[in-house]
């Protein structure tokens, strides 16, 4: 469910055995959720990356220790996915990219926030012509779901969804991720820095969230 390059290889060929009659693979449930969403929302339909949004939601419900609740994982996931997409769907609509609610504006907001919090680092990235589109597009549209292991993604989402200004807080999380590796970015060239941003090195998400909260409190 999380980033391919963060996942371990399958541990057993048993994962690919035919399921008994009446049983479904998890991917089939996720596929159905996305299919029904696309049919009900033809203006958006399905856009690559939506599977990364639905994945952590479905995993959370499908692994619920309460077996009675777990039986409703598909319906609960669809409900939560639909409500979440109502808030972030503008990120997936290409015609809105350059509007104030589109993804381009939000990516630029990451840099304007960084400029306010760490001018030196901002100027370094500008000097190397490292545009936010090179890394922040994925960070923002997928809510960081491809940057960390699944349990860490769920921890980040827990903080995001608990915040009344959750997507403003997401911008601060992205900014915190940059500031926490500022020394490496200030020393690195374009190639090294792009590698850092495409494969983020810090795995302690609590450290990132703490830094984001500090940035929020200093506003």
Predicted confidence (pLDDT) per residue in 21-39, tens digit = 667 889 999 999 999 999 9
Q: Pull the structure tokens for residue 169.
A: 């807080």
* Digit-coded pLDDT (tens) for 195-207: 999 999 999 999 9
CA distance 202 to 92: 27
* DSSP SS3 for 59: helix
* Digit-coded pLDDT (tens) for 98-138: 777 778 889 999 999 999 999 999 999 999 999 999 999 99
* DSSP SS3 for 164: coil
pTM: 0.85
* Half-sphere exposure of residue 185: CA atoms within 13 angstroms, side-chain side: 24
* Digit-coded pLDDT (tens) for 33-76: 999 999 999 988 898 899 999 999 999 999 999 999 999 999 99
* DSSP SS3 for 204: coil
DSSP for residue 72: T
Residue 15 has pLDDT above 60, yes or no: no
Could you identify the residue written with the tokens 């929302």?
Answer: 41
Size of the chain in residues: 219
Q: How does residue 14 score in pLDDT terms, banded at 50, 70 and 90? A: low
Cβ burial, residue 216 (10 Å; 0-12/13-18/19+):
middle
pLDDT at 170: 95
Could you identify the residue written with the tokens 């608990």?
Answer: 162
> Which residues 6+ apart lie within 8 Å of 184 measured at CB?
192, 193, 196, 201
């Amino acid at each position: 469910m999380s980033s391919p390059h963060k996942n371990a290889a399958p541990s057993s060929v048993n994962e690919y055995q035919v399921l008994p009659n009446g049983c479904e693979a998890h991917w089939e449930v996720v596929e159905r959720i996305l299919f029904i969403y696309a049919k009900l929302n033809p203006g958006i339909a399905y856009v690559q990356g939506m599977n990364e949004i639905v994945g952590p939601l479905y995993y959370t419900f499908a692994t619920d220790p309460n077996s009675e609740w777990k039986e409703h994982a598909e319906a609960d996931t669809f409900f939560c996915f639909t409500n979440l997409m109502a808030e972030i769907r503008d990120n997936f609509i290409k015609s809105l990219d350059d509007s104030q609610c589109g993804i381009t504006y939000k990516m630029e907001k990451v840099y304007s926030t960084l400029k306010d919090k760490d001018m030196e680092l901002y100027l370094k990235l500008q000097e190397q012509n490292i545009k936010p589109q090179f890394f922040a597009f994925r960070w923002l549209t997928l809510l960081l779901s491809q940057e960390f292991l699944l349990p860490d993604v769920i921890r980040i989402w827990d903080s995001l969804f608990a915040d009344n200004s959750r997507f403003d807080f997401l911008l601060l999380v992205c900014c915190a991720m940059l500031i926490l590796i500022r020394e490496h970015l200030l020393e690195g060239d374009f190639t090294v820095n792009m590698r850092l941003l495409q494969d983020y090195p810090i795995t302690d998400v609590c450290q990132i969230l703490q830094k984001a909260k500090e940035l929020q409190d200093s506003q």
